[in-house]
Structure 1
């Protein structure tokens, strides 16, 4: 009898995840779609993670127990190399997948082979499992592509991707702490992608502080990713342009950027796209107006409403009453 090929590999890195690991693994093993392998890579955990993983008796689990910690990028690439599925789904050891997540994503990718990356919406969950607000990343490809220029448009543990595509790019150590942002940026600049408007994940949000070192490395990786994305628009991406652009995502880290510099940068993006046609014009210009609005709201400028509406970034068709009230009251 011919052996059925595994359709999906679920890749789950683990590091000191004893508090939530059992529920996370169970949520994958109890999926309505069953033709998958679950690769669990325990990256040198010092808690009870190893014992919890070994307590499961399911032939779909492929368990790798690393004796020492290699780091998330190395582990993710290790999982890609071990995978056998036509599609690869990510899962984190503290989140919970909804019962039909794999089925919904697989059905979409098989029915729409031009799409190579598929994420979902998520519902935030705290350390006690209490659920709160929805996370709604942009859905359609044109919106995702524009949004990615300013921030990551995917919830990493919600994604499923064509295995051959994600393996061809891989995760890169030099983009540590934003490795998913760069990987997804590479994919969407060459292939179509979507976020399905369905809750595929209960996404756990911790109150753990991030070290200053990690914040610094993450910011550096974000800037390098933005440099890659801006290079599709500009022949040269200067360090100054990068600082201005990154300030739109992390204004608290870029205090020296003026509102006039932001306006000129956003106008330069608009003009560059008019000649290079990288992004859908109205989608990009709507987002540029939103970024201009947010920058003004954060600023100490006087007459914000006048400055907003007098800019060449402004279009009446993208303006709404809430923006008017907020600008007027500021």
Structure 2
């Protein structure tokens, strides 16, 4: 069973295209867990209009924080194979099958992707950075960089046993789950480009690094402490 954890917030512009690209490759027993963070636009109306029993909207008070919105979605996932999804990307038709196949020999799989503009015109043919491809220590590669999108990963359910609940001081669910996977489990990188990662005005900040070096060190230390606490879990 596949569980797709989809987080939303005022995503009416792109959510229909993204959701359709996911639904088209799921089986009848799979599920899409939608955790909406208090949208004030028509995001939820658009999702409900799909009228698909595999879509499960889990209500909650707004977090105003994508990391803990994703945590909430993950807590409701029932499948063996877990996918994290943003609201504005588009999945290529073979994403689920390729990732599930790769998970037969790994616990956590990262694929490549196309980076596009808001109209899905390709800007970059890869999202990988060289360190991710060549670094012999996968944990170090994942810990010191975030060279991938959370929507480019899939993992086995057992990773949630270590990853949940999230520490309250972490900054990114992508990095936290990736660090847990690299530290405790078998990580695999595959070169297949399986999503169009849409880069637009609301998310281009992910390509910049506004935090000071001191904040970066602070958050890295926080992740280290979080990992240490999970050794004994």
By the TM > 0.5 criterion, same fold? yes
Which residue is equivalent to 1:299?
Answer: none
Within 5 Å, give how 1:309-324 maps onto structure 2. Answer: none
Matches within 5 A, 1:1-330: 7-31=1-25, 35-66=29-60, 68-110=62-104, 112=105, 115-137=106-128, 138-139=132-133, 142=136, 144-170=138-164, 171-176=166-171, 178-208=172-202, 210=205, 215-216=210-211, 220=215, 222-227=216-221
Whole-Å separation in 2 of the counterparts to 1:35 and 1:62: 12
Query: Which gives a bigger RCO, structure 1 or 2 (Cα 8 Å, sep 6+)?
Result: 2
TM-score by length of 2: 0.81
The count of residues paired between Structure 1 and Structure 2 equals 218
- For 1:269, the equivalent position in structure 2 comes to none
C-alpha offsets along residues 126-182 of structure 1, whole Å, 9 cap, x if unaligned?
112212212243357835334224312432111111112134213333112x33213
Q: RMSD of the alignment, in Å?
A: 2.8
Report how far residue 183 of structure 1 moved: 2.8
Instruction: Answer yes or no: is the 8 Å Cα contact 2:115–2:196 preserved in 1.
Output: yes
Rg comparison, structure with higher value:
1
Residue pair 1:45, 1:69 contacting (<8 A) in 2 also? no
Distance 1:42 1:149 in 2: 28
Q: Deviations over 1:194-232 (max 9, x none)?
A: 22110111001123475xxx9449973x4245336889x
CA distance in 2, matches of 1:32, 1:82: 18
Flag the structure with higher helix content. Answer: 1
Higher strand residue share: 2
Question: Please, what TM-score do these two structures have when normalized by structure 1?
Answer: 0.59
Cα gap change, 1:69 to 1:150, in 2 (>3 Å) = closer
Relative to structure 1, is the Cα distance of residues 136 and 57 closer, same or farther in structure 2, using a 3 angstrom cutoff? same
